[in-house]
Amino acid sequence: MTLIRTCGILMTTVVLAATVSYGQAGGAAVPFLLISPDARASGMGDVGTAMADDINAVFWNPGGLAFNQTSNQVALSYSKWLPQFNADLFYSYGSYGQYVDAIGGTLAGTFIFMNLGEFTKTNESGQALGKFRSNEFSIGLSYGTEISPDLGAGVQIKYIQSNLAPASVGQSGAGTGISSAFDLGFLWRPSKLTVFGANLDNTLRLGVNLQNVGPKMTYDKESDPLPTNLRLGIAIKLVEDEFNDLTITSDFMKLLVKRDSLGSDPIPKSFITAWGVGGIETGIGMEYIYDRIVALRGGYFTEPASAGAREYFTLGAGVRYDVFKVDFSYILTVEQNHPLGNTLRFSLLVDWGTEG
């Protein structure tokens, strides 16, 4: 089997896995860029655009980095992916952020790695030519700063590489795709706000994040768009006192990819044409924190059939000890034997230098 045919089969396998795990992604490449990196947000129904108040804002909303002015943070997470398949798939993520006085904002670096497993390369006669491993990864650099006392803005630029199959002699890089992208986010956290006579001081948060905007990923002669998407989020703090903190939050996500039998629409045309296909994904969740030590979370995620038909509930919990925060989340799928069923995620956040 030629390299190109091998790549084609492998890409089909990856896309099928992506279809069940991230929705249909509109035929986009590198769907691992849509995976929630932290167990905190995963436990709330994959919601975080308006709750972006730690280093994981690099994914959910880089505008949230603007408010991390008193701490340095490291975030790490790992998850076996599609456990129902019993496949050699895993997702790992790491990020570090620090406030820099000289530039008036927070800088963060991020690395994401998706292992796609081991495959056997064969020739036209079906003879095995050896094994190879496939993976995809991205490296990102983020910056967030306050553009007004209540409004944060942030941007992330990222390098993306997809290593689907090794190249044959004379076909250097045929199984590798390389691209780059940027994210742009804003987070509004009004300290003084009254709506219809109701006092909402330090209660409401609104966020928006445009993710993965960049050129197509090209493998040899095949090109696929990046999973460009728009996230809108809202969070409302219902209770806040000395010992109790209760927040509800919701995200709405629209994949800005338009693809048909003739190909895919380029950016920025797809920003308009994509609204006529697929649907809007919705997540809603809550987080209860007792004494800033123990957290309990729950959530629900759904999307229309045209966007992948995923539907599941999530549970999560977390504990804080000194500078360490450990979180986990668990997915309960509505459909039996769903590939995402029984997915466990663990994440660690180390936060030092925080005041209070």
CATH of the domain at 210: 2.40.160.40
pLDDT by residue (tens digit) across 292-333?
Answer: 999 999 999 999 887 778 899 999 999 999 999 999 999 998
User: Domain limits at 345?
Assistant: 3-352
- Comparing 181-185, 189-193, 284-288, the range with the smallest average pLDDT is 189-193
Q: Flag the least confident range among 14-18, 129-133, 161-165.
A: 14-18
* pLDDT score at 50: 97
**Residue 150 binned pLDDT confidence (cut-offs 50, 70, 90):** very high
Could you tell me the sign of the dihedral formed by the alpha carbons of 44, 212, 140, 15, in that order? Answer: positive
Q: What is the DSSP letter of 273?
A: H
H-helix or E-strand spanning residue 60:
helix 57-60
266-292 mean pLDDT: 92
Q: What is the mean pLDDT of residues 262-268?
A: 85
Mean pLDDT, rounded, for 253-268:
86
pLDDT at position 356 is: 39
- What is the spatial distance between Cα 152 and Cα 174, in angstroms, rounded to a whole number? 41
Please determine, for residue 141, whether its predicted confidence score (pLDDT) is greater than 70. Answer: yes
Chain mean pLDDT for the chain = 86
pLDDT score of 77: 95
Residue 95: strand pairing partners:
75, 110
Rounded Cα gap, residues 156 and 94, in angstroms: 15
Counted domains in the chain = 1
pLDDT at residue 169, rounded to an integer: 41
The pair of structure tokens assigned to 346 is 């663990």
Give yes or no for residue 1 having a pLDDT over 80: no
Q: Which whole number is the average pLDDT over 258-278?
A: 86
The pTM of the full predicted model, rounded to 2 decimals, is 0.87
pLDDT-derived band at 238 (thresholds 50, 70, 90) equals: very high
Most confident of 34-48, 214-228, 262-276: 34-48
Q: Which residue has the tokens 């730690």?
A: 54
| Contact predicate 145/66, CB 8 Å | yes
